[in-house]
Amino acid sequence: MSFDLRTEFSIRNARVVTADQVFTGGVRVYQGEFNDVTSDHHGLSGEDWAGDYLLPGLVELHTDNIEKHLLPRPKVCWPVPSAVMAHDAQVVSAGITTVLDAIAVGDLEPESLRTQTLHACVKGFDDAREAGLLRADHYLHLRLELGEENLLSLFNPLARHQRLKLVSLMDHTPGQRQWADIGAYRAHVAARHCWSEQHIDHMLAVFNDRQQRYVNQNREKVISLCRDQLRHVPLATHDDTLPEHVSEGVRDGMRISEFPTTLRAAQAAHEHGLAVVMGAPNAVRGKSHSGNVSAAELARHGLVDILSSDYVPSSLLHGAFLLQESGYSLPQSIATVSRHPAQQIGLTDRGEVAVGLRADFLRVRIFQGIPVVLGVWKQGRQIA
């Protein structure tokens, strides 16, 4: 989507949220950037926002929302172009102006549809972007399932993708990390896939075999490749449960801890300087869908650095506002979905309402306690 960056306009009488303040004021936008941010809104002649919030555009590091459009039902594949455009529209409507599409590389399940749609999905985003059809800025987050037999052959063709911004290493084998509670896992897959108890037993045996055969060797090879060829791309560990998991990630050069499942793991991540990412759906629901530590509990300990919408784009802004109930100020809360994620992936030109940065911003109004996105601007142009 092309932009005319010559546009100049002002907004006044908004509740502006900057990195460290909330004040009634306004902004002036010129050539796609914030040219002025002021509490003297009476000096601006632009549109009156009547006290609605003016927030930075949201930055999302980990959403697999595209899968809901690619695979709307078990064993049903949707056309990639349609899925990509529907996903883009959904994230923009949620206020997300920069998104890392978290695409799974490999799966525990043999002959997974995730694996079959991997390269077509990446190409779908590339084609839509080249055609100028995407409204949000889309980058790539490759989620590497270490129990995948063919992981390296799937990852290698994508490892040097020009829009790759994050690589995470995952092991979803039930019995540890996210699925330490086998009972919770059984209930989850029985409801999601309608698997019988006998089939669950069979798949658990398959998963455990794949873990024993592939996880350690894949991890070593991926870490070696990333150290040699992808030093500019940050690495994330995933579903840390024990401090030992965090230590392993630190040893391997990780900078981000995604979705730690226990308070101990999140504390260890902070002690080692890793940024902690938690799920916004967890924050909105007040609990983890797999029975692990809540985002609210980690926030009460000051351990939530970044929120991710994960599987519900609209949860991102809502979850950020809810962090205030755990002791975060509004600027601190909004930073978890804007400035902090942008900084972690090296996008220093956005994520904050500040002079000289990109004019990616939102108009938001509170309705029955929930923040509602009324408008979305990217580089000064309204896109929703």
DSSP state of 99: E
Per-residue pLDDT, 204: 80
pLDDT band at 46 (very low <50, low <70, confident <90, very high): confident
How much is the average pLDDT of 301-310? 97
Banded pLDDT at 253 (limits 50, 70, 90): very high
Structure token digits, residue 18? 């900057």
Between 136 and 1, the more confident residue is: 136
Does 6 score more than 70 pLDDT?
Answer: no
pLDDT at 176 over 70: no
The answer, yes or no, to whether residue 291 has pLDDT greater than 80, is no
pLDDT surpasses 80 at 332: yes
Higher pLDDT, 92 or 207: 92
Of the ranges 3-7, 9-13, 228-232, the best mean pLDDT one: 9-13
Domains of the chain, by residue range, sit at: 1-57+350-384, 58-349
| 175, pLDDT greater than 70 | no
- Amino acid 173: pLDDT: 80
| DSSP letter for each residue of 152-206 | HHHHGGGTT-TTEEEEEEE---TTSGGG--HHHHHHHHHHHH---HHHHHHHHHH
User: In the chain, pLDDT over 70 holds for what percent of residues?
Assistant: 94
More confident call, 191 vs 35 = 35
CA-CA distances (angstroms) from residue 365 to 155, 362, 371?
42, 10, 6
For domain 1-57+350-384, give its CATH number from 1.20.1300.10, 2.40.40.20, 3.40.1050.10, 2.30.40.10.
Answer: 2.30.40.10
pLDDT > 70? residue 340: yes
Which residues make Cβ contacts (< 8 Å) with residue 244, sequence separation at least 6? none
Res 197: pLDDT: 82
What confidence score (pLDDT) does residue 77 get?
85
CA–CA distance, 384 with 376 (Å, rounded to integer): 5
pLDDT, one tens digit per residue, over 258-287 is 999 999 999 999 999 999 999 999 999 987
Does residue 179 carry a pLDDT above 80? no
Overall CATH class of domain 58-349: alpha beta
pLDDT exceeds cutoff 60 at 3: no
pLDDT in tens, 55-76: 999 999 999 999 999 988 877 8
Q: Retrieve residue 84's tokens.
A: 């990509």
Residue 207: pLDDT band by 50, 70, 90 thresholds? confident
Longest dimension (CA), the chain: 71
**pLDDT at res. 1:** 56
pLDDT at 235 over 70: yes
Whether 327 shows a pLDDT value over 90: the answer reads yes
Q: What is the DSSP string of 309-329?
A: -BT-TTHHHHHHHHGGGGT--
